[in-house]
Amino acid sequence: MESSILAHMERDLNKPLNILMDKLGLIHEHSIASPILYNGSVIGQIQVEVYHLNIYLYLTILLVAFVVFLAIWFAMLLNKNNIDIAERKLNEMHLKRLTETLQEKVQQEVEKNRKSEEIIHNQKKADRYGEDDKRNLPPVEAASHCTWV
């Protein structure tokens, strides 16, 4: 006489979460069968089916993936900040160079203007001295009594 004993755990796949987990492969069915021996002869068989939820393993993987994502995102954020800082430093250096160049150009223009004003001032001064010298010279008719040697 051979009989089977079936230990069966019911799985409720009617719940939406269980249906989703089954579709994702998170619920695994394990079946174990073993003969029942009595005095050396097989009198039956025992079979056990177990539905195993690997949710903890997948939650751990999900958590690790999330941490990795956050680490990558944070690294990208730091890298962007470093690029912004480097770009800002480059702009500051460029602005400093432009400021120095501008200061040199301003000094050159001020020096040119000073020299031009000095030349104009000296010309005006020379013109005034020339007019003063003409006033002090005797008229041309009065100098006609001079003889040229």
Residue 46 inside a domain? The answer is: yes
pLDDT digits (tens, 9 = 90+) for 75-95: 888 877 777 777 888 888 988
Q: How many domains is the chain built from?
A: 1
CA distance 117 to 65: 76
Residue 8 inside a domain? The answer is: yes
CA distance 123 to 130: 10
Residue 42 inside a domain? The answer is: yes
| E strand or H helix at 134 | helix 55-136
**Could you tell me the pLDDT band of residue 51, with boundaries at 50, 70 and 90?**
low
Residue 38 inside a domain? The answer is: yes
Residue 33 inside a domain? The answer is: yes
**One-character DSSP codes across 18-58:** HHHHHHTT-EEEEEEEEEEEETTEEEEEEEEEEEEE-HHHH
Expressed as residue numbers, the domain containing 32 is 3-53
Give Cα separations from 46 to 6, 29, 37, 40 (angstroms): 6, 16, 10, 16
Report the predicted TM-score, pTM, of the whole model to 2 decimal places: 0.33
